[in-house]
Amino acid sequence: MQGIGPAICLGNDIDTDLIIAGRYLRTKDRSVWAEHAFEDLDPALAGRLRGAVIVAGRNMGCGSSREQAVVALREAGVAGVVAESFARIFFRNAVNVGLPVIEASVACTDGARVAFDLDAGWVEVNGKRYPARPLSERMVAILRAGGLVPYWRSWR
């Protein structure tokens, strides 16, 4: 599983309230979450997400278990999320909705060209290669299927 895109660099401890605020949760319209992603962090960010790779620091996606956070990023067209470390519910949610998540410690500048290969276990930023922590077999299988729903359907 591979991806490529320009980097959007974020800091440590980006919580799921910042990714999608509580006031936007009560809908089934996924485009609403994509439209308001990161609104309280930087209202201009949502417009830059399509095709981008988010590169965060430590504890990415901490806080609420709200799955709208990972759905917002997927619906906005984010190619993948690289972080030094992830909060565990966010990490599992991302895999479950088919959003690639890559645990790696990289040096990042906004707009840098980021490429990743989950199977081979690396991330490249402007051509410099960093090792990525491998995912469990089951997580790889779920991601490869496109998320837990398609994984379930194929498995049954």
Contacting residues toward other proteins, per CB under 8 A = 13, 15, 17-18, 21-23, 25-28, 40, 58-59, 62-68, 70, 85-89, 92-93, 96-97, 136, 138, 147-149, 152-153, 156
Separation between Cα atoms, residue 88 and residue 25, nearest integer Å: 21
If the CB atoms of residues 87 and 112 are measured against other proteins, the closer one turns out to be 87
Do the beta carbons of residue 132 and residue 55 sit within 8 Å?
no
If the CB atoms of residues 1 and 25 are measured against other proteins, the closer one turns out to be 25
If the CB atoms of residues 4 and 141 are measured against other proteins, the closer one turns out to be 141
Mind giving me the DSSP string for 85-154? -B-HHHHHHHHHTT--EEE------TT-EEEEETTTTEEEETTEEEE-BPPPHHHHHHHHHTSHHHHHHH
Q: How far is the CB of 115 from other proteins (least distance, A)?
A: 26
Q: How far is the CB of 113 from other proteins (least distance, A)?
A: 28
Q: How far is the CB of 6 from other proteins (least distance, A)?
A: 26
Separation between Cα atoms, residue 46 and residue 36, nearest integer Å: 7
If the CB atoms of residues 30 and 48 are measured against other proteins, the closer one turns out to be 30
Separation between Cα atoms, residue 149 and residue 8, nearest integer Å: 28
Q: How far is the CB of 96 from other proteins (least distance, A)?
A: 4
